Amino acid sequence: MKKNMGSTDRIMRSIIAVVIGVLFFTKMITGTLGIVLLVLAGIFLLTSFVSFCPIYAPFGISTCAVEKKSA
């Protein structure tokens, strides 16, 4: 798997996942919506740790910084 997520994308996903986790465990979001959001938060954390988003791949999207090649 080639990395296709930049650091800003990874940080934002991690922050969103933590916020969802806090809201779920403080009972601000509950029920089916809470469980669905908690699963989404888990996916966000997983993809941010591996720096690869499978949804980006088929569309050729990459938020990684462009690497400069030296001559």
Cα(9)–Cα(18) distance, integer angstroms: 14
Question: What is the model's pLDDT at position 60?
Answer: 87
* Sequence-distant (≥ 6) Cβ neighbours of residue 17 within 8 angstroms: 41, 42, 44, 45, 48
User: Helix H segments across 1-71?
Assistant: 7-25, 31-50, 56-59
What pLDDT does 42 receive?
96
Domain boundaries, the chain: 7-53
**Per-block average pLDDT, block size 10, for the chain (71 residues)?**
88 96 95 96 94 88 72 55
What pLDDT, on the 0 to 100 scale, is given for residue 69?
58
Question: According to the model, what pLDDT value does residue 67 have?
Answer: 61
Task: Report the pLDDT value the prediction gives residue 70, as an integer from 0 to 100.
Answer: 58
What's the confidence (pLDDT) of residue 71? Answer: 55
